[in-house]
Every structure is written in C-alpha cells, then in structure tokens.
Amino acid sequence: MRPPGAATRAAQGLRLNAGSAALNGNLTSAKGSLTRGQSGLHPACPRAARACRALLRFNVVLMPPTQTARLLLIEDQRDIAANIWDYFERRGYAMDHARDGRRGLELALEGRFDLIILDLGLPRLDGMELCRRLRAAGHEMPVLMLTARDALEDKLRGLRDGADDYVVKPVVLCELEARVRALLRRGLPLPGGRLQADDLEFDSGSFVVHRGGRQLALTRMQTLLLERLLLRAPNVVTHEELGRVLWGDGQPGAGSLHTHMHALRITIDRPFERSLIRTVRGLGYRIDVPRRET
C-alpha cells in the first residue's frame, strides 16, 4: 500500500538542492551549490550535508539498480514513509508499505521481498518482535532497521533479534540507499568453502557456523565479518578493510563497524571460555589462532 501523499510530502530537508543533485548524478550542479555555500539541506540535519559532501568528494553516484529490487517498508510515520517510498520508487525500486507491525509481518511472511526496511517503534507489533518472528519462521531476507534509539544496547538488541544493519533517525536518504544496496549485494551466496580457527568452524557456502560443537546464529553482516577475519587469520584486518566488506566505499563511520563487531563477539566469544576475536588498538581486529604444540 502506497503511503498517502508520497508525491507531495517533503522530507524536512533530506532531499533538496545539492543533496538531490548529488543523488541524481548531477555532480556539477551539486558542487556549484556547495561552492556557493547553499547546500540546500535543512540546518537541523547536518548529517545529511556531511553524507552528500562525502558523495561529492569521492565522486560516488548511486545509480539505479540494474534489476528491480522489491522492498517492503514497515513504518508508521506517514511523512517518513512517503518520503522513503517516493525516493526509492524514483530510483527504480518496487515498493510496498505497511503502517503497523502486524500487517508488516503478514506481508513479510509472504516471502516476495528482497529486503525489508523496518521501523522499530511500530503499533500493534514492535519491530524487534516482528523481526524475531520473521527469523523464527525461517525467512532470511535482509532486514534494515530504522531506529531513533541511539544507545549501543538498543542497536545490539536489534542485531541479536535478526536485523542485518541499522540506520539511526533522522534518516539520510543517500545513506539509507547505500545501506540497502550493500545488503542486496551481500545477499548473494558466498563461494563454498570451510574455514576453521581452533574450535570455530565456518562453512561459507551454507552460512553455517559451529563452535565447540554448537551451531551459532549470525546475521548476514556478521557472517561477512567473520569470513574476512578467518581468511586473514592470524593477520590483522584493518577497520577500513572490514568497512569495505560491509558497505563498499560508502562507509558510515567507525561507530557502525564497532556495533557489528561487538555483536559478533557476543555470539562467537562470550559463551565460551576462550576469546578468539582480538582488538588491535588503532588498527583493526584479528582472529587469535592458538599455536599447536609439536
């Protein structure tokens, strides 16, 4: 269901002048606006300005998808829903919308969507409970959560409940699309192969992870992080490389990577006597492979 007023509702400064020019590929116009000091972005949303300036600095243009991706937006705030719908529809995505958690779960369980954009504070069924029920039913499509809850514990809880990534409100549309595209790309199966470190085993073809004989449940993003760490073990994998694994060149910042790594460590290390993932301060992370006695 299309949110009412999508063609006429504004996004309170999230898609104007330089921002629109950058996102639609008109770098010349966007650079001109920024050069004149007229970013066109609402002063209450400096994050949007920074994001669009980053696109210009690296000459990144988010092109429409080559194949139509089907997105389900579950959001109860009409202005936000209308703005997201309008933006993604113009970018070539096929959209559907639910205004409450119960209806959103019904649509999600149909299994006809490539990705779900999920608000957490929903009426009738909370977003986190919706995500838990969706995963319990065996559905593995990527879930990108929208949250006004900036606390680390809230983000970790969402990832534990089955979300693959998150965007903190107020939503910046260029960042949101970059996260969507990253999840869609990473929804493809990984090449088959078995990787092992100590009692940790990872099958990159089936996404199955075992440690100490126990099967562990990881999100898609955590799976990608673990695969890269195991491939490089025992060497250090830098923050920059891990960020590119998750988001390509449009990296959202160190805080997002830290959140995903923290969630991965909770699953991989916390229930076990020995920790395998080590922080190398100022550089990145590595898998600590124990030396075997000869």
Which two tokens mark 187? 């929804």
pLDDT in tens, 139-179: 888 999 998 877 778 888 888 888 999 998 888 999 899 88
Set out the domains of the chain in order of their start, with CATH numbers.
70-185 (3.40.50.2300), 194-287 (1.10.10.10)
What integer is the mean pLDDT of 124-151? 90
Highest mean predicted confidence (pLDDT) among 5-9, 71-75, 209-213, 253-257: 71-75
Confidence category of residue 72, pLDDT binned at 50, 70, 90: very high
Look at residue 252 in the predicted model and tell me its pLDDT.
72
The answer to whether 48 and 13 are in contact (CB under 8 A) is: yes
The pLDDT of 187-211, averaged and rounded, is 78
Global pTM value: 0.59
Mean of pLDDT over the chain: 78
In this structure, are residues 84 and 73 in contact, taking their beta carbons and an 8 Å threshold? yes
**pLDDT of 20:** 39
pLDDT at 143: 95
Q: Could you tell me which of 155, 144, 168 has the C-alpha nearest to residue 48? A: 168
Q: What are phi and psi of 187, to 5 degrees?
A: -80, -5
